[in-house]
Amino acid sequence: MKIALDAMGGDFAPEVTVAGALDAVAEYGIEVLLVGNEARILSVLKDKKGISPKISVVHASETVEMHEKTSAALRKKKDSSIRRAVELVKKGEADAVVSAGHSGVVMATSLFVLGKLQHVDRPAIATIMPSLTGNFLLIDAGANVDCNPINLLQFGYMGDAYYRAIFNHDNPRVAILSIGEEDSKGNELTRDAFKYMKNAQFNFIGNIEGKDIFQGGAEVIVCDGFIGNIALKVSEGVAEMILKMLKMEIANLRTGKLGYLLIKPALRNFKKRTDYSEYGGAPLLGINGTSIISHGRSSAKAIKNALWVAAEMASKGVVKTISQSLKDFNQVRADVKG
Amino acid sequence: MKIALDAMGGDFAPEVTVAGALDAVAEYGIEVLLVGNEARILSVLKDKKGISPKISVVHASETVEMHEKTSAALRKKKDSSIRRAVELVKKGEADAVVSAGHSGVVMATSLFVLGKLQHVDRPAIATIMPSLTGNFLLIDAGANVDCNPINLLQFGYMGDAYYRAIFNHDNPRVAILSIGEEDSKGNELTRDAFKYMKNAQFNFIGNIEGKDIFQGGAEVIVCDGFIGNIALKVSEGVAEMILKMLKMEIANLRTGKLGYLLIKPALRNFKKRTDYSEYGGAPLLGINGTSIISHGRSSAKAIKNALWVAAEMASKGVVKTISQSLKDFNQVRADVKG
């Protein structure tokens, strides 16, 4: 597998992106095309003694900064590292692309250059989150702020196909994120989506409440991108608050210092279980190619894992699987409307 | 202050509701009207040696069960403890009502019996949640699943008035829960609501992301009831998962048992800081009276605190304050539309 990596993308690029690429080469034997400012990338590669036949550099003269407007960046920066990296996939010179750069631009460029799959109205971001029993996939985690029921149905198909492939799961449970389990509960969007979903070919188990997604209630959680982003950010915020509060409370105890030392390995294990960098990045599903969007603050480990996810998705032909599973979607739509 | 308490409401009624009432009498000198099955309430009162001039019992022959349909319960159970308790407020025999019973029925009955305030299109539930710096108010936490921008504007006015009164705060920051800080970020609903809010008389600070609400970014967080309920449940779910995972990880350590003992008081303090029962219950704002909805699993402490919130809200005339602050709302609406 050959993956194009936007070497200039992310808060700590290109040092961290190059480091992540070298780790992915060493650990998984993935070939990486480092895309961006050639001189800077080569200098980091030399520092890290990273010259290897599995690493090559593709020059791009421009870099998209995090604060730029998506539309302006798309229009003006035709030779950005993001654009060049995505184009390598389009031209068949790479099997997938990974970027920790400006996520709006990565999304828009991927969609623009690679195009949508047939039957897909709206591509969506699929993010893995931890649960008590393992993990679940949240789709859409932020690509589409206003959705219709058909969009949600498509998210169900895409999430199901992705989860099966990546986790070798043979029947993931798919649920709609809502405010009650009965089909009558929810807002207009989720109630309508429920009617379509129950006729879908995937394993639809109904609505799931926000409390139950972290208890392992389903493998694929479907929602619109506004709700998905709020759920994602709220859970990050709560986790951050809890850990800070606990640390403060422990520091306030006379016995706290020793107690903290004794439980420190448990905190470390906990962090590992819930660390976003373990999953590396989230794919934009529904486009005609494999594009993984990583967190701007990605560490080398996160980049390495994102490269693994990209290689996994490409080698298992997830895009093709999604495309095939969406074929029966039109029938479901017709059945409900009829 | 005289508060009507639905003595039959909640999973552990009437034992726990009566116990909470007795604590509120002892601690705050609140007078409580216990509404429900007279024989059962008297028997619990006698067991607890709770006969007091500040406690009286008002008989209601029916009880609404948790699994009942709201519409059916409203139509058929005219002599339910919920209905009788709310009617005491309507007749001026109580200053406020508290119920840990079927929350849909408590909401609908409060709205039906007490009526809406002038200028209010949709009453909303206002829930207090913990943050790193103290707390914040989430409005709407679940009363209205589909909202328009004017509803959100009204939630801002109501939340602002409530927060000022209950926490003696002289200028709470009001924000819209969204997926980015800029006014261009969000879905159609929040982007439109932003236009109204920036002309409102309260201290509107713009959008706030899900991650930042727990860091103390604003005192009043406005959203539609679907999002609010998801945010509330997701945060409960994450907190539960984190504490369970930490306990498991600590239990797996050789040094875990001792470490756990040493930090246990910190866990207790943390739980106290984040315990919903500290706030007791959430008011339905926008109706012509004070009605507090408590959690079905309320402990005696939660009931006691809910009675305190009810007395506080009634004695400070929050309903009147909301009514007055909404007077200028029509002007804001006209300015934006004009």
Assessment of whether the complete model's pTM goes beyond 0.90: yes
Helix axes B103-114, B81-90, angle to 10 degrees: 30
Residues of A in contact with B210 (CB under 8 A): 229-237
The residue-averaged pLDDT of B215-236 equals 96
Whether domain B1-120+286-318 has CATH 3.40.718.10: yes
In angstroms, rounded to a whole number, what is the distance separating the alpha carbons of residues B3 and B54? 10
Confidence bin at B110 (pLDDT 50/70/90)? very high
Gap between the Cα atoms of A55 and A40, Å rounded: 15
Distance of alpha carbon A186 from alpha carbon A87, whole angstroms: 41
Q: What are residue A139's DSSP bridge partners?
A: A126, A222
Classify domain A129-277 by CATH number.
3.40.718.10
- Point out the least confidently predicted range of B52-56, B80-84, B145-149, B331-335: B331-335
What residues does CATH 3.40.718.10 cover in chain A? 1-120+286-338, 129-277
Residue A336 binned pLDDT confidence (cut-offs 50, 70, 90): low
| Position A139 pLDDT exceeds 70 | yes
Average pLDDT for chain B: 93
Asked if B145 and B227 touch (Cβ cutoff 8 Å), the reply is no
Q: Does A317 touch chain B (CB under 8 A)?
A: no
- Whether A66 has its CB under 8 Å from any CB of chain B: the answer is no
Which CATH code is given to the segment(s) B132-277?
Answer: 3.40.718.10
Residue A268 has pLDDT above 60, yes or no: yes
- A81 token code pair: 């590292």
Dist. CA B223–CA B176, nearest whole Å:
6
Q: Record the tokens describing residue B111, joined without a space.
A: 């709205």
Sheet holding A203-209, edge to edge: A55-59, A31-36, A2-6, A96-99, A291-293, A282-285, A124-131, A134-139, A220-222, A173-178, A203-209
More confident residue, A27 or A335: A27
Q: What crossing angle do the helices spanning B149-167 and B188-197 adopt, rounded to 10°?
A: 60
User: How far does the CA of residue B250 sit from the closest CA of chain A (Å)?
Assistant: 5
Q: Could you tell me where the beta strands, DSSP code E, fall in B16-149?
A: 31-36, 55-59, 96-99, 124-131, 134-139
Tell me if A256 and B266 make a contact (CB, 8 A cut-off): yes
pLDDT value of position B180: 87
Asked if B131 and A244 touch (Cβ cutoff 8 Å), the reply is no
Q: How far is B106 from chain A (nearest CA, A)?
A: 17
Say whether B263 and A253 touch across the interface (CB within 8 A).
Answer: yes
Q: Does B229 touch chain A (CB under 8 A)?
A: yes
Under CATH, to which class is A1-120+286-338 assigned? alpha beta
End-to-end CA distance of chain A: 45
Measured in angstroms, the CA of A131 and the nearest CA of chain B are apart by 7
Mean pLDDT of B201-218: 96
Min mean pLDDT across A209-218, A219-228, A245-254 is at A245-254
Contacts of B324 (CB under 8 A, 6+ apart): none
Considering only the beta carbons, identify the residue of A130, A231, A249 that sits closest to B266.
A249
The overall average pLDDT reported for chain A is 93
Q: Which of A205-214, B63-72, B272-281 has the lowest mean pLDDT?
A: B272-281
**A227 in B contact zone (CB under 8 Å):** yes
A218: closest CA of chain B, how far (Å):
14
Task: State residue B278's pLDDT score.
Answer: 74
- Quick one: pLDDT band at residue B338, thresholds 50, 70, 90? low
d(CA B18, CA A256) in angstroms, rounded, equals 39
B24 has a chain A CB within 8 A of its CB: no
B21-33 pLDDT per residue, tens: 999 999 999 999 9
Say how many residues make up chain B: 338
The answer to whether the CB of A142 falls within 8 A of the CB of B179 is yes
The whole-number pLDDT of residue A90 equals 98
Range(s) within chain B of domains with CATH label 3.40.718.10 = 1-120+286-318, 132-277
CA distance B135 to B275: 12
Confidence at A111, pLDDT banded by 50, 70, 90: very high
Q: Is the pLDDT of residue B336 over 70?
A: no
A256 contact B CB<8A:
yes
Q: Which residue of A236, A249, A266 is in closest CB contact with B211?
A: A236
Q: Is the dihedral of CA A246, A252, A253, A256 positive or negative?
A: positive
pLDDT digits (tens, 9 = 90+) for B226-276: 999 999 999 999 999 998 998 889 988 888 888 888 888 888 888 887 777
- Search chain A and give the residue with CA nearest B273: A245
pLDDT given at position B28? 96
State the amino acid at position B70 in one-letter form: T
ipTM (interface predicted TM):
0.90
pLDDT, tens only, A321-334: 999 888 877 777 77
Sheet holding B55-59, edge to edge: B55-59, B31-36, B2-6, B96-99, B291-293, B282-285, B124-131, B134-139, B220-222, B173-178, B203-209
Which residues on chain B are in Cβ contact (under 8 Å) with A184?
none
Question: Does the structure show a pLDDT above 90 at A119?
Answer: no
Nearest CA in chain B to A227: B227
Q: What is the pLDDT at residue A57?
A: 97
